[in-house]
Structure 1
Amino acid sequence: MKTRLVPALAALVLALAACSSGTGAAKDTGAGNADGSPEELRIGYQLIPNGDLIVKDQKWLEQALPDTKITWSKFDSGGDVNTAIIAGSVDIGLAGSSPVTRGLSAPLNIAYKVPWIFDVIGENEALVAKSAGSIADLKGKKIATPFSSTSHYSLLAALQDAGLKESDVKIIDLEPQDIQAAWTRGDIDAAYVWTPVLGELEKTGKTLISSKDLAAKGKVTADLAVVRTAFADKYPKALSVWLQQQDRAIKLVRSDKDAAAAAVGRQLNLDPAEAARQIGQLVLLDGKEQQSAAYLGTPAAPGDLAKNLHSAAEFLKSQQKIDAVPELSAFQQGLAVKELSDAFTG
């Protein structure tokens, strides 16, 4: 759920930009099968208790695309997914709205689109402290979060809302598992992170604010699917199948919560009760809901997700995290609304 533009990545971006209008289209997955399906579909997933883990656990894609090799690769953050998309090694991946905002902005300008919202983030991401009674009490303290993630974005928003500047605290860049280790050692005073690590921190810490609280203040975050534009253009039927399996997972959550929790629990190594609790912290949307004006929208009317990403870009620019704010149209064009519509019509 984050984006790092380290020197090596910056060099890669410049190299790819020289031969493409947008990064992320440098490599394809082969000539494809006779039926038009890809020889391989490479998926970048994260350990987040949403429908993607159900699709993986139930092997629905393997069943629906029998002639396609389905390769699942685990990533710790959306920034790493961005890097993999740029390198052309992932076709569809999960990244938070903050790294996607950065991906659709300069200098990255990644050639990908958003065809699906995995979840709207709620209580599954939060700021937890060891002893502070309020966010203001964190002044001068060490706070860990994965840089440029949705958690990082939310942490900056929470500090601003509490009247603190970024310089008033010491923010440390750590991946979730490293955050848990640093918390145990006593190296940090607080952390903004997501489940399942969040659940471990909450056992000994106090939640000061969640992403659900921040959403009520206008700082909405989400876990989004991104698909390489080249892949979506070449294999529209495969993308439709992928979208239909994601929709199937949401319907399973609603029709058989026990089965859904068991599937997510297996993927996260959690007991079903805890998996069910974590699933319940997210807002999950089926295919019809995704096409509403509040979310992705339709080809005729792109939804509010584009506005949310544009608003996030304005905030990131104010925090000097991106160089410039793209026009709203850039985010509207970054929504794969036609592909989403095609998957659920006809």
Structure 2
Amino acid sequence: MRKQYKKPLFTTVIVLAALVGFLVYQTRGNTDITDEGKKPIIIAYQTGVDPSKVAQAEGLYEKNSNQPIEWKKFDTGPDVVNALASGDVSIGNIGSSPFAAATSRGVPIEAFLITAKLGSSEALVVNQKSGIKQPSDLIGKTIAVPFVSTTHYSLLSALKHWNIPENKVKIINLRPPEIVAAWNRGDIDAAYVWEPALSKVKATGNVLIDSHQVGEWGAPTYDLWVVRKDFAEKNPEFLKSFVSTALTQLEKYNQNPEAFSHDEKNVNEISTLTGSSPADIALLLSGNTYLSRKQQIETLSNEFSKNILDTAQFLKGQGKVDQVKADYHDNVSTAFLQ
């Protein structure tokens, strides 16, 4: 009789062992999922060209923080702001103009790192067939720009400098991919945009002005990393690691711009991540100013908040925001740069 039950008993033991193993595996898996430290941090990025893109391409943010990250690409700053406002992302890469608009309407975010002070990497390009040779030729023409972006702010600032009323030109709201499509169809005469759309319209266009010159006229713009305040309070060490990782690449570039921008690996990684042509990377990198840790602290502690206030007041005057805060110091932090 024992022989009749020997095999079923053995099989039962195996099944029970497998079941226990499965349950243990499931328990461990669930622990990983619910463990806050193991959840991927969701970060929004855009396609602007800067040295810190190398760190993103090589996974250095994850490696240095020992924290998984889920990167999500967005076409415009306002899109990133919406994701931050909803809590879909915790950290985002946006320009100073959408940052001013977002904080003016109470989105709970703060700027903690300046990726770049923008220059020739953003520009107003006019179609060679448009007949536009000088600023006054813009009157009556159609200009595309992503609304409430740094390029939108720069465009409006340039028109003001040239004494061209906004209602004398037709400004339409298009995202960068839409700008390229409209340009190719011949629907627009000019566009103020960034990479990779910038290079695509420059192929058959001429630069009328760039953000370096507009900044010299008193309307500088910045590319920023911003974070939800609730996330910043709970994750200071991650943000310190994030800042250090980004600054390492910015400092490498500043130490030897030519070597950095002609390093084939750097060029290919930035090109792949942003969609810009490898041939354009060196020029695009040279088009911005990258601040050191000390310069970051000085800028964020002093003139940056005033610049955001000026930007918000300008946007309100243009009817792009409904209200302006008394000041923006509570939306700026140097805590993770210390």
Q: Does the alignment pair 1:112 with 2:109?
A: yes
Q: 1:103 to 1:269 in 2, by over 3 A?
A: closer
How many pairs align?
297
Partner of residue 23, structure 1: none
Task: Give the distance between the partners of 2:269 and 2:162, measured in 1 at CA.
Answer: 39
Corresponding residue number in structure 1 for 2:274: 268
**Corresponding position: 1:174 with 2:165:** no
Higher-helix-fraction structure: 2
Query: Could you tell me the TM-score, scaled by structure 1's length?
Result: 0.82
Measure the CA separation in 2 of the matches of 1:268 and 1:225: 17
Instruction: Judge conservation of contact 1:47–1:53 (CA < 8 Å) in 2.
Output: no
- Tell me, yes or no, if the aligned pair for 1:252 and 1:260 is still in contact at 8 Å: no
Which amino acid in the other structure matches residue 322 of structure 1? V
- The more displaced of 182-191 and 195-204 is 195-204
| Matches of 2:192 and 2:271, distance apart in 1 | 23
Structure 2 residue 310 is the aligned partner of structure 1 residue 337: no
Instruction: State the match for 2:89 in structure 1.
Output: 90
Offset of residue 203 of structure 1: 2.0
Native 8 Å contact 2:51 2:285 kept in 1: no
Query: Given that residues 121 and 195 in structure 2 are in contact (C-alpha distance below 8 angstroms), is that contact kept between their aligned partners in structure 1?
Result: yes
Residue 51 of structure 1: how far off its partner (Å): 3.3
Unaligned runs of 5+ in 1: 1-28, 297-301, 342-346
Change (3 A) 1:279 1:53: same
- Partner-residue secondary structure (3-state), 2:44: strand
Runs of 4+ deviating beyond 6 Å: none
Bigger CA drift: 81-90 or 277-286? 277-286
Contact 1:261 1:279 in 2 (8 A): no
Aligned to 1:233: 233
* Partner Cα distance (1:160, 1:269) in 2: 32
Looking at structure 1, the residues matched to 271 and 286 of structure 2 have their Cα atoms a distance apart, in angstroms, of 13
**Larger deviation: 269-278 or 178-187?**
269-278
Asked which structure has the greater CA Rg, the reply is 2
**Pair 1:57 & 2:61 matched:** no
Q: How far off is 1:197 after superposition?
A: 1.3
Q: Could you list the per-position Cα deviations for residues 196-254 of structure 1 after superposition, in whole angstroms to 9, with x for gaps in the alignment?
A: 21122122212111111110000000111110101110011011111111111112323
Whether 1:282 and 2:281 are equivalent positions in the alignment is: no
Return the letter of the residue paired with 1:103.
A
Q: Quote the Cα distance in structure 1 between the aligned partners of 2:96 and 2:165.
A: 22
Q: Is the 8 A contact 1:45 1:52 kept in 2?
A: no
Deviation at 1:271, TM superposition (A): 5.0
Q: Is this contact kept in 1: 2:113–2:225, CA < 8 A?
A: yes
- Distance in structure 2 (CA, Å) of the matches to 1:162 and 1:205: 21
Amino acid paired to 1:307: K
Counterpart Cα distance in 2 of 1:271 and 1:315: 34
Corresponding residue SS for 1:110: coil
Find the counterpart in structure 1 of residue 303 from structure 2.
304
Contact 1:253 1:260 in 2 (8 A): no
Asked whether the 8 Å contact 2:215–2:221 carries over to 1, the reply is yes
> Is the contact between residue 52 and residue 247 of structure 2 (CA under 8 Å) also seen in structure 1?
no
Unaligned runs of 5+ in 2: 1-32
Indicate if the aligned counterparts of 2:65 and 2:242 stay in contact, CA closer than 8 A: no
Residue 291 of structure 1 is matched in structure 2 by 297
Cα pair distance change 1:243/1:219, threshold 3 Å: same
Tell me by how many angstroms 1:31 deviates.
5.3
Cα distance in 2 for partners of 1:303, 1:137 equals: 38
Task: Tell me the percent identity.
Answer: 35
Answer whether contact 2:40 2:70 (CA < 8 A) is retained. Answer: yes
CA-atom RMSD in angstroms: 1.7
Higher relative contact order (CA 8 A, sep 6+): 2
Deviation at 1:65, TM superposition (A): 2.8
Shift of residue 54 of structure 1? Answer: 1.4
CA distance in 1, matches of 2:52, 2:231: 19
Deviation at 1:30, TM superposition (A): 6.1
